[in-house]
Structure 1
């Protein structure tokens, strides 16, 4: 494996990791901002109030985008990694 192929494969892997993590991180950020704003407006400082809605939003988003994540990883393996492993 030469250097260019290694870096290209690494770039593709990092791009896929970024793409599949973006929906979950975006929803976690939005849920955190909404809960934080609600806590600031009502002066409620309960720790479980921040944890439970964010966890529910993350689990829901993961469940909805699971097919996209799986398809992205399978296509990366089929198109890039398996031919590299089988070829040498």
Structure 2
């Protein structure tokens, strides 16, 4: 395997990892900021107040985007990796 092909596959796989994790990370960030603002405004410093809603919303977003993530990963595997492994 040539170096340029290896680097291109690594770049593509990292880009797919970023695209797959972006919805979950965005929801976690937005939820954390909103709950942090609410805590700062109300002076409530409960640790589970940030953890439980963040995990709940991330599970909902994961459930909604699971087909998108699966199709993206399966497409990358069948279009990019299988031909490379098969030597085509």
Rounded to whole Å, the distance in 2 between the matches of 1:53 and 1:2 is 47
In the TM superposition, 1:9-88 aligns within 5 A as: 9-87=9-87
Q: Runs of at least 4 residues of structure 1 off by over 3 A?
A: none
TM-score by length of 1: 0.97
Structure number with greater CO (CA < 8 Å, separation at least 6) is: 1
Rounded to whole Å, the distance in 1 between the matches of 2:22 and 2:80 is 22
Gaps of 5+ in 1: none
Q: State the Cα distance separating 1:86 from its structure 2 match.
A: 1.2
RMSD: 1.0
The number of residues matched between the two structures is 88
Q: State the Cα distance separating 1:87 from its structure 2 match.
A: 1.0
Rounded to whole Å, the distance in 1 between the matches of 2:47 and 2:8 is 44
Rounded to whole Å, the distance in 2 between the matches of 1:3 and 1:47 is 48
Rounded to whole Å, the distance in 2 between the matches of 1:37 and 1:69 is 31
TM-score by length of 2: 0.97
The residue that corresponds to 1:6 in the other structure is 6
